[in-house]
Structure 1
């Protein structure tokens, strides 16, 4: 089993990262604030105006560590990496399969919808005494409809456009009841529907930020096994878009991102004070809110779960890599189908 390494996130404006021997040194206002050995890291992610020294960039490239640059709101800007070690034979197979991807897309979607339904069923099980009858009925109905869509995906011969349409239908039902999963009374923390580019409320800002972190993990996992993260099966190809990383994220985000967002809000670790409203109505996490989320994200990655297909226990932070590995095995012909990761 691969060892789970840390990702160093730096979100403080004006901080600087440099290399000192075999360590990454974080400085702010000419004072050292942290020091991490390079061999303990899987990559660096920086937000906004943070200086990264050329010597550190070179050391990361030499060791296969990626440096990802995001803006203050977590939107992707650039990625610095050393020579790509992709498996050319595996990638050729990936490109051929992208021409007729329905079988693989079916696996991604069954994983995603199964995990969405699990989120709703867990809420019904754990909070049935505090949910009002309307919320209980809505959650149960959405879970039932998602189950019906899963059956249609699994047992009907749907083409790619029909599979995408089924995924959209399930997402509509899932997010139509998402507000019932939020158990805090603050009006500022309500959810009225998914909004992006930019997010229009606190919950959407939180979800979008977590999805950005998850895409980074998925992309790293895919590249580690030699796949091309730009050529996907479910998401359409677009210049600059990591389509395969977005594909892999779909099955993982209900558990990795949605449940973490709900936990942070319902436990009052994140509240209205952790968000800022900008001109035009865009809502973003504040610096303090972003640090809270990053700390929770790192802790979440250490949680261990049983991987049913592999019959092993692994940290959640390794799941994107394990799923990328299973996808590559399927593409090579070692597995008859792609086994999605389903939370239980």
Structure 2
């Protein structure tokens, strides 16, 4: 099993990163702030203007350490990767199966909708007695309708377009009741609907930031096992879009990103003052809030869960890599179907 290595996040503008022997050195204003052995790194994510020396970039590339470059606001801009590690036979099979993706799409949709429903059911179990009856009834109704969608996808849907439609229907149900999961007293943190590019309110800004981090993890997982992150099954191919990475993250959005966002808000680790409204209408995380989110993200990745297919405990941070490996095994013919990751 792949060891859960560290991902280093650099959020201080003007920081400089360099290589010293087999160690990454981070400096601010010429003063050393931290050092991390390269063999303990799996990824490097930098926000805004941060200097990376050519020697460090080359060392990361040869060691399979991915570098993600983000804007100040957390928008993905570029990735730096070394030579492709995948073998040509696996990628040829991936491209071939992308032409007839029905069964893989079915697994992804079942995993995503099931995990969204599990988030609603967990909220009802943990906080249902505290909710007003209309909120509780709305969550129960959404969970029941999502159960029907799951049965339909599993038993009757055979067309990819229909399964994509079912996934969209479930997402609409999920986000229609998402506000009932928020217990923060700040009215600015209420949920009014999904918005992105740019996010128009605080919760959307938080979710978009977490989804960006999760996309990076899933793209790295695809590259690690030899898959092409640009060619997906549920998501259609589009230039510049990591469609397969987006496929893999669908199962993990609700239990990993959404649950973390709700936890940060409901525990009042993030408040309305941690977000900034920009002139164009976008809402962004403040610098200190971003550091809070990154710390919580790293902690969440270390939490262990039982993998339902492998029947082994694994940290959250390993799940994208495990799922990418299972997909590769399915494409090679080692297992009959791609097993989605179910959270409970």
Question: CA contact under 8 A between 2:231 and 2:237: conserved in structure 1?
Answer: yes
RMSD: 0.8
**What is the alpha-carbon distance in structure 2 between the residues aligned to residue 26 and residue 294 of structure 1?**
17
Give the equivalent residue in structure 2 for 1:165.
Answer: 165
Structure 2: which 5+ residue stretches go unaligned? none
Question: CA contact under 8 A between 2:157 and 2:163: conserved in structure 1?
Answer: no
**What is the alpha-carbon distance in structure 2 between the residues aligned to residue 66 and residue 198 of structure 1?**
26
How far 1:59 sits from its partner (Å)?
0.9
- Secondary structure in structure 2 of the residue aligned to 1:73: coil
Give the equivalent residue in structure 2 for 1:201.
Answer: 201
Give the equivalent residue in structure 1 for 2:77.
Answer: 77
- Secondary structure in structure 1 of the residue aligned to 2:130: coil
Query: TM-score under structure 2 normalisation?
Result: 0.99
Q: What is the 5 A alignment of 1:9-88? A: 9-88=9-88
**What is the alpha-carbon distance in structure 1 between the residues aligned to residue 250 and residue 304 of structure 2?**
20
Question: CA contact under 8 A between 2:67 and 2:81: conserved in structure 1?
Answer: yes
**What is the alpha-carbon distance in structure 2 between the residues aligned to residue 154 and residue 162 of structure 1?**
12
Give the equivalent residue in structure 1 for 2:123.
Answer: 123
Give the equivalent residue in structure 2 for 1:339.
Answer: 339
Q: What is the 5 A alignment of 1:1-344? A: 1-344=1-344
Structure 1 consecutive aligned stretches of length 4 or more whose deviation exceeds 6 Å? none
How far 1:280 sits from its partner (Å)?
1.6
How far 1:6 sits from its partner (Å)?
0.4
How far 1:157 sits from its partner (Å)?
3.1
**What is the alpha-carbon distance in structure 2 between the residues aligned to residue 51 and residue 189 of structure 1?**
34
Question: CA contact under 8 A between 2:182 and 2:190: conserved in structure 1?
Answer: yes
Q: Which moved more, 1:61-70 or 1:109-118?
A: 61-70
**What is the alpha-carbon distance in structure 1 between the residues aligned to residue 157 and residue 266 of structure 2?**
40
1:142-195 Cα offsets, whole Å, 9 max, x none, are 000111111111001331111111111000000000000000121110000000
Q: Which moved more, 1:136-145 or 1:73-82?
A: 73-82
**What is the alpha-carbon distance in structure 2 between the residues aligned to residue 300 and residue 341 of structure 1?**
17
**What is the alpha-carbon distance in structure 2 between the residues aligned to residue 322 and residue 180 of structure 1?**
32
Query: TM-score under structure 1 normalisation?
Result: 0.99
**What is the alpha-carbon distance in structure 2 between the residues aligned to residue 200 and residue 80 of structure 1?**
30
1:189-238 Cα offsets, whole Å, 9 max, x none, are 00000001000000000000000000111111111111000000011101
1:71-121 Cα offsets, whole Å, 9 max, x none, are 011111111111111111010000000001011000001000000000000
- Secondary structure in structure 2 of the residue aligned to 1:13: coil
- Secondary structure in structure 2 of the residue aligned to 1:9: strand
**What is the alpha-carbon distance in structure 2 between the residues aligned to residue 37 and residue 271 of structure 1?**
35
- Secondary structure in structure 1 of the residue aligned to 2:280: helix
How far 1:4 sits from its partner (Å)?
0.3
